Structure 1
Amino acid sequence: MTPTPSGFTILASAGQVPAKVVTNDDLAARMDTSDEWIRQRTGIHTRHIAGDDESTSTLCTTVAQQLLHQAGIGADQLSYIVVATMSPDYATPATAAQVQGAIGAANAVAFDISAACSGFVYGLHLMQRLLAGPDVRYGLVLGGETLSRLVDWTDRSTAVLFGDGAGGVLLSNQGSGQYLGRDLRTLGDQGAYLTARALHGQAPSDAFLHMNGRKIYTFAVRAVPRSLQAAVDQAGLSLDQVDHFLLHQANARIITQVAKELDQPLDKFPMNIAAVGNTAAASEPLLLAETIAGGQIQRGEVLALCGFGGGLTVGTVVLRY
């Protein structure tokens, strides 16, 4: 059944990455790898790494301030702040609560969601429901990560992949944008394929991020096309009517394979993985902000945003920008 399109307008989009850049050659100097090996297998050239004075909450706060400034909205006008992250500063307070306090959004209810690389898309779906309230008008959905603090920098299989950053959107239930369709799935029986920061681990290595790369790749190239097709079908559209597919930037080879599976041109799948690597929940909002700022995305176009990863999770939301 095709849902009735609901008001869901992106008023502003923004992203923030740390100033420190780590290149593939930098990593090759400290472990058994090379620039060529990393590029061929992942498409990554560089990644940004948080400094001592940066954290998930500070990156998200900067993005929130940029969003309010762009839209000319006061922080006191926000009703909700949702932050997607798998690398918060604390177990409590929530990153969203830290952002709420830092920007002075006294009227906003703020909380985090943990769905790894699907977190931002899950957050968009949740915010669409929250904005349906009669007295609600504005909400922030942010994705932020400092994954560099979860990575074993001697492990070639993970250290080359991940970076830090934050991105987000300011949303309103007013305006010309529309929420058209969605597909969200969780495969908890496969969650052991991607884990990080075990709270009751018996070995020091349990604190680091561990991934079965082969299993995750197989999951992604099967689950992502299905999710995209299901969400587009629910929206009552064809794949050809989607102007841009904004996928989680996990691996350039995955994105290329998804485009092939869907029989869609690769130029409809923008990528920034070369510059920022895999930033988990920050991935889709960073890409969205970059493509909007660069003029690649225009008002009225149809976007399909898809996240996939830890949980295991996959999620797609279809919007009219």
Structure 2
Amino acid sequence: FDISNACLGVLNGMVHVANMIELGQIRAGLIVAGENGGPLVDTTINNLLGRPDLTRNEIKSSFASLTIGSAAVGVLLVHKKLSKSNHPLLGGFGRAATQFNDLCRGNDETGAGSESWSPLMNTDAETMMHEGCKLAGDTWDAAKKVLGWTSDDVSRVFCHQVGQMHRKLLYETLGLDPAKDFSTLEILGNSGAASLPSTLAFGVEKGCLKPGDKAALLGIGSGLNSLMLGVEW
């Protein structure tokens, strides 16, 4: 079945599957996501080129669309008795600030993959960055209490990938050491719901986590919504 929540879809899916495992409804669940940024980038460029009378603000609202990338991920969650890796998902916390639901809006879609699919997105990136980081700060404070962590306890941080200014403000707001960040923005851009989990996968491949490390998964999505989870490696 489908779970969609902008850039938090995979994390929401992880929580849903984890709850089903804890309730004894299932013993294992696979969450998958694929993001194809090409059509949005192409449509945005064509729209900008075809409108020479655009104002500065109209152009600014398209900037975020030009950072979109493509990625696909799979996350397998199992009951601890079935686990061969022993990387427990410890818990987390989610918050919403839905008064800002209009900061990122897309046009009506005719369906991904259809010949007439021409997605467009308008984003107030500056307001989203500031209000998103405020929401993230509240969410992180609550998540730390649930997990029993302090910011200093965190070994590595994996965030939804948006931009360098966003990352700087986020770490300042949360009181986290930016040296603990693992970034894929430079190679993947913002790949939507696949962004954070694919960043975690790249980090694992690079060997940045060792047994016993505490990994913070910090999700922020339009809506505005934030979901932050803790994993022990």
Change (3 A) 1:120 1:240: same
CA shift for structure 1 position 144:
2.0
Q: 1:177 aligns with which of 45, 62, 87?
A: 87
Give the corresponding residue for 1:213: 125
Give the corresponding residue for 2:99: 189
1:288 aligns with 2:209: no
**SS of the residue 2:140 aligns to:** helix
State the 4+ residue runs in structure 1 displaced beyond 3 angstroms.
none
1:275 aligns with 2:167: no
* Cα distance in 2 between the residues matched to 1:234 and 1:298: 23
Give the corresponding residue for 2:7: 117
1:166 aligns with 2:65: no
- Equivalent residues in 2 for 1:69-84, closer than 5 Å: none
- Equivalent residues in 2 for 1:1-321, closer than 5 Å: 111-134=1-24, 136-151=26-41, 152-154=44-46, 155=48, 157-174=63-80, 175=83, 176-198=86-108, 207-321=119-233
Give the corresponding residue for 2:58: none
- Structure 2: runs of 5+ lacking an equivalent: 49-61, 111-115
Q: Is contact 1:124-1:317 (8 Å) kept?
A: no
Counterpart residue type for residue 153 of structure 2: Q
Deviations 1:206-226 (A, max 9, x none): 941111111111122212222
Q: Is contact 2:65-2:121 (8 Å) kept?
A: no
**SS of the residue 1:303 aligns to:** strand
Deviations 1:137-175 (A, max 9, x none): 221122321133234124452342111111232111124
Counterpart residue type for residue 201 of structure 2: A
Give the corresponding residue for 1:55: none
Counterpart residue type for residue 160 of structure 1: L
**SS of the residue 1:150 aligns to:** helix
* Number of matched pairs: 208
Q: Is contact 1:116-1:280 (8 Å) kept?
A: yes
CA shift for structure 1 position 242:
1.3
Deviations 1:102-124 (A, max 9, x none): xxxxxxxxx11111112222122
Change (3 A) 1:199 1:279: closer
Q: TM-score, normalised by structure 1?
A: 0.60
CA shift for structure 1 position 230:
1.4
Q: Is contact 1:229-1:239 (8 Å) kept?
A: no
Give the corresponding residue for 1:9: none
CA shift for structure 1 position 304:
1.3
RMSD: 2.3
**SS of the residue 2:95 aligns to:** strand
CA shift for structure 1 position 135:
5.8
Deviations 1:9-61 (A, max 9, x none): xxxxxxxxxxxxxxxxxxxxxxxxxxxxxxxxxxxxxxxxxxxxxxxxxxxxx
**SS of the residue 2:210 aligns to:** coil
- Percent identity, please: 24
* Cα distance in 1 between the residues matched to 2:143 and 2:158: 13
CA shift for structure 1 position 133:
4.1
Relative contact order (C-alpha < 8 Å, sep 6+): which is higher?
2
CA shift for structure 1 position 129:
0.4
**SS of the residue 1:153 aligns to:** helix
